[in-house]
């Protein structure tokens, strides 16, 4: 649980009812090539755990019961032995004997960290790790011990294979060979630095990104070229009987049927092939292109390929933003996505973005979009149809948050706060008063006032960042990572806990609550998200009294990690580490917000023939109002902003009952209407 006992008398923890719903994306992700048990396919993902398909990849579902923290699977390693599935994860090695229905950890206490590979030979089990070498069992998993004699310290192992009476392992330290089942290891001199390794009969093959393929017929003593027809830039290999398959960065899938003497191109996916799997006469290739991971299948020996990952969700969503009824999502390595129907369908819009960019923040103003992350800033003037580099003038490419005041966009970067007034065409530092060498993590705007925090503390500016005033009285020295203002109360947090100020930062006090991963403010509510260190942790909380008391709203989302939060005043959206975006009606978790009310000056009417909803705000001044249309289950149908007066909103609605909610500031009115046949 997240609450601390620092100031226990301030805290009251409760649990809310209600459930979260996983949206249908963003889709894709870095994943392993599949393994098969019976008629079921399984893939490991980078953050989404294990996915299973019972219909040859038409539909995928998560099967993660028993996996710790939805641990990120090593995307290259899943194995099957005697009907048992093995998955290498950041939380250890796991096995399932019931088609993924449940998972049990192997070698607990030994290989419980970042495991990468497994080799099973009867009672002998070898598990490779990313930093601790190899752990083995010689009695079917009853007892375990390290098998690292001769391996360098902190050895990173990516694969373990058998060739004749020898074991071979490889990783970032090179290739090693053992004649005594891992009792001792010796270095194998190879022509590549960090190779992938595979075996056919008694022939060993190695490749890496920079070198051509090589083979050895004397157990690694000597090596010969094995690249005729193949070339360099091989990413992965997979043997199938006497055939060997290879995938390349250029998307080519190759095969040799004569032990590497000659390779033939089977087909090209025009995108980088990460992993290959051969199941019977079917070839699977997981790919990585422009930040989007996919899985392709070929049933005609590589002649044609079919996408089989339309609903495969394995994305890490670091940024979520809602504007004018459009949901924007920025991912770690999978690109930028939009959804106009509350997450039911998604569009990947990555033209012009660098491959594998980690998008950490989004700022939208109509068709003008800015995103930032580990590759600096990128801008779009056409609603993300195309992107251009928008980081001119930034002195550091690492960006974590953006805030907007009109046409002014402010960015928190590793070199302080920067401003752009032209959607990223150029940026200017505005760091006066932020201290020496500021590394800023968050910037937040309320009206014309800015708040920012980072390595040098918490600050505010009332002149568009031209000068900053420190708000650090009562705060410890530390690295502050987030800040919001709710009903005049400031909330911030460092790496340890949260702090509260009721006098605009003149003084602070700890509120006795652990530091979250993300935080947002909406109406009378503050919502925070946590990474969660184990499956029993609550990962989402809300407060309706400016941080004094907190209520868990984790529900069925507890078996994941929360990276980002956003709301449109009606639905709350949570970006997760590996399972895309989840949503939940905000009213399920909010107290103190005015509920549905009748206001005779507000009128709504739906014209079913024209497919138009008319919203008339009447004569009372609303200013800019948020309008949201939902069905009775809370599913968002449409969302937008309108000014005083009336608006016509095009939409197609099926037969049923719908709610229209108009909100502005603390005012909130809900109207109900029905669509009949």
- Percentages (nearest 5) of helix, strand, coil residues in the chain: 0, 50, 50
Determine the pLDDT at residue 529.
95
Residue that is written with structure tokens 């809900």 in the block: 670
Neighbours of 52 (CB within 10 A): 21
Given a cut of 90, is residue 486 above it in pLDDT? yes
pLDDT band at residue 563 using 50, 70 and 90 as cut-offs: very high
Cis peptide before 590 (omega within 30 of 0): no
Given a cut of 70, is residue 590 above it in pLDDT? no
Which two three-digit tokens encode residue 246? 């290879």
SS3 (DSSP) at 75: strand
User: CATH for 197-263?
Assistant: 2.40.10
Given a cut of 70, is residue 291 above it in pLDDT? no
Given a cut of 80, is residue 368 above it in pLDDT? yes
Q: Which residue has the higher pLDDT, 37 or 71?
A: 37
Given a cut of 70, is residue 87 above it in pLDDT? yes
pLDDT band at residue 75 using 50, 70 and 90 as cut-offs: low
Which phi and psi (to 5°) does residue 527 adopt?
-120, 135
Cis peptide before 79 (omega within 30 of 0): no
Determine the pLDDT at residue 534.
63
Neighbours of 436 (CB within 10 A): 7
Among 158-172, 408-422, 587-601, the minimum mean pLDDT is found in 587-601
Given a cut of 80, is residue 562 above it in pLDDT? yes
Given a cut of 70, is residue 584 above it in pLDDT? yes
SS3 (DSSP) at 555: helix
Determine the pLDDT at residue 7.
32
Given a cut of 50, is residue 9 above it in pLDDT? no
Given a cut of 70, is residue 120 above it in pLDDT? yes
Which residue in 551, 580, 549 sits closest to 564, CA to CA? 580
Of 102-116, 202-216, 433-447, give the range with the top mean pLDDT: 433-447
Please state, in angstroms and rounded to a whole number, the distance separating the CA atoms of residues 120 and 79.
9
Determine the pLDDT at residue 74.
65
Q: Outline where DSSP puts E strands in 545-624.
A: 550-552, 562-567, 571-576, 581-585, 603-607, 612-616
pLDDT band at residue 257 using 50, 70 and 90 as cut-offs: very high
Q: Are 514 and 498 a contacting pair, CB within 8 Å? A: yes
pLDDT band at residue 676 using 50, 70 and 90 as cut-offs: low
Determine the pLDDT at residue 4.
45
Which two three-digit tokens encode residue 301? 């020996």
Domain with CATH 2.60.40.3080 in the chain: 603-675
Determine the pLDDT at residue 171.
84
Given a cut of 90, is residue 466 above it in pLDDT? yes
The whole-number average pLDDT for the span 136-150 is 94
Which two three-digit tokens encode residue 101? 């229905």
Architecture of domain 603-675: Sandwich (2.60)
Domain with CATH 2.40.10 in the chain: 197-263
Q: Outline where DSSP puts E strands in 428-495.
A: 428-429, 440-446, 449-454, 457-461, 469-470, 482-486, 489-493
Fold exhibited by the domain 317-327+338-588:
Methylamine Dehydrogenase; Chain H (2.130.10)
End-to-end CA distance of the chain: 49
pLDDT band at residue 69 using 50, 70 and 90 as cut-offs: low
- Tens digits of per-residue pLDDT, 595-651? 334 445 788 888 777 778 888 887 767 777 778 888 766 677 777 777 767 778 888
Mean pLDDT value across the chain: 86
Determine the pLDDT at residue 169.
94
Domain with CATH 2.130.10.10 in the chain: 317-327+338-588
Among 279-283, 340-344, 604-608, the minimum mean pLDDT is found in 604-608
Of 52-66, 292-306, 337-351, 607-621, give the range with the top mean pLDDT: 337-351
Residue that is written with structure tokens 């190879």 in the block: 190
Of 60-69, 536-545, 630-639, give the range with the top mean pLDDT: 536-545
**DSSP annotation of 332:** B
Cβ-count burial of 303 within 10 angstroms (0-12 exposed, 13-18 middle, 19+ buried)?
A: exposed
Given a cut of 70, is residue 276 above it in pLDDT? yes
Please state, in angstroms and rounded to a whole number, the distance separating the CA atoms of residues 254 and 232.
12
Which residue in 518, 511, 544, 672 sits closest to 606, CA to CA? 672
Which two three-digit tokens encode residue 181? 């089942």
Determine the pLDDT at residue 168.
96
pLDDT band at residue 661 using 50, 70 and 90 as cut-offs: confident
Determine the pLDDT at residue 194.
67
């Amino acid at each position: 649980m997240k609450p601390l006992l620092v100031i226990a008398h301030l805290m009251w923890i409760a649990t809310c009812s209600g459930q979260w719903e996983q949206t249908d994306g963003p889709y894709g992700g870095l994943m392993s090539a599949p393994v098969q048990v019976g008629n079921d396919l399984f893939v490991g993902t980078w953050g989404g755990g294990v996915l299973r398909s019972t219909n040859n990849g038409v539909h995928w579902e998560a099967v993660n019961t028993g996996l710790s923290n939805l641990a990120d699977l090593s995307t290259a390693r899943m194995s099957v032995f005697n009907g048992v599935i093995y998955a290498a994860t950041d939380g250890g090695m796991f096995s399932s004997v019931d088609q993924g229905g449940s998972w049990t950890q192997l070698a607990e206490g030994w290989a419980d960290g970042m495991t990468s590979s497994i080799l099973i030979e009867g009672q002998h089990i070898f598990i490779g790790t990313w930093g601790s070498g190899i752990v083995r069992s010689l009695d079917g998993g009853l007892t375990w011990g390290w098998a690292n004699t001769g391996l360098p310290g902190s050895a990173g192992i990516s694969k373990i294979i058998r060739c004749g009476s020898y074991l071979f392992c490889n990783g970032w330290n090179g290739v090693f060979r053992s004649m005594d089942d891992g009792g001792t290891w010796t270095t194998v001199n190879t022509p590549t630095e960090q190779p992938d390794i595979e075996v056919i009969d008694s022939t060993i093959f190695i490749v890496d990104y920079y070198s051509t393929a090589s083979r050895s017929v004397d157990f690694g003593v000597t090596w010969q070229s094995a690249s005729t027809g193949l070339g360099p830039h091989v990413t992965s290999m997979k043997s199938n009987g006497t055939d060997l398959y290879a995938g390349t960065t250029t998307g080519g899938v190759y095969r040799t049927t004569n032990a590497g003497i000659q390779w033939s191109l089977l087909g090209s996916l025009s995108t980088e092939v990460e992993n290959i799997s051969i199941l019977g006469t079917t070839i699977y290739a997981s790919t990585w292109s422009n930040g989007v991971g996919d899985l392709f299948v070929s049933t005609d020996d590589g002649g044609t390929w079919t996408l089989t990952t339309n609903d495969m969700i394995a994305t890490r969503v670091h940024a979520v933003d809602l504007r004018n009824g459009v949901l924007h999502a920025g991912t770690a390595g999978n690109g930028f996505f939009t959804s106009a129907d509350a997450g039911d369908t998604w569009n990947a819009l990555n033209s012009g973005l660098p491959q594998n960019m980690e998008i950490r923040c989004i700022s939208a103003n109509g068709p003008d979009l800015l995103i930032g992350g580990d590759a600096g800033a990128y801008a779009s003037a056409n609603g993300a149809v195309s992107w251009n580099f928008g980081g001119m003038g930034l002195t550091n490419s690492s960006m974590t948050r953006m805030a907007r005041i009109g046409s002014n966009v402010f960015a928190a970067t590793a070199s302080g706060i920067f401003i752009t007034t032209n959607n990223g065409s150029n940026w200017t530092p505005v760091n006066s008063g932020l201290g020496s060498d500021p590394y800023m993590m968050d910037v937040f705007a309320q009206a014309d006032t800015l708040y920012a925090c980072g390595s040098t503390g918490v600050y505010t500016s009332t002149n568009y960042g031209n000068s900053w005033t420190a708000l650090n009285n009562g705060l410890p020295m530390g690295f502050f990572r987030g800040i919001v203002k709710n009903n005049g109360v400031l909330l911030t947090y460092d790496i340890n806990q949260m702090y509260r100020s009721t006098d605009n930062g003149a003084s602070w006090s700890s509120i006795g609550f652990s530091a979250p991963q993300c935080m947002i403010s909406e109406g009378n509510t503050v919502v925070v998200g946590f990474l969660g260190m184990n499956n029993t942790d609550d990962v989402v909380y809300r407060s309706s009294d400016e941080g004094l008391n907190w209520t868990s709203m984790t529900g069925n989302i507890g078996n994941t990690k929360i990276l980002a939060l956003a709301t449109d005043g009606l639905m709350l959206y949570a970006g997760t580490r590996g399972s895309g975006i989840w949503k939940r009606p905000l009213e399920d978790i909010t107290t103190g917000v005015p509920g549905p009310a009748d206001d005779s000056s507000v009128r709504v009417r739906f014209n079913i023939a024209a497919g138009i909803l008319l919203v008339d705000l009447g004569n009372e001044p609303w200013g800019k109002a948020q309008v949201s249309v939902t069905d009775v289950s809370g599913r968002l149908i449409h969302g937008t902003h309108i000014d005083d007066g009336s608006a016509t909103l095009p939409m197609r609605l099926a037969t049923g009952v719908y709610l229209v909610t108009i909100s502005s500031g603390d005012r909130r009115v809900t109207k109900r209407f029905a669509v009949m046949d």
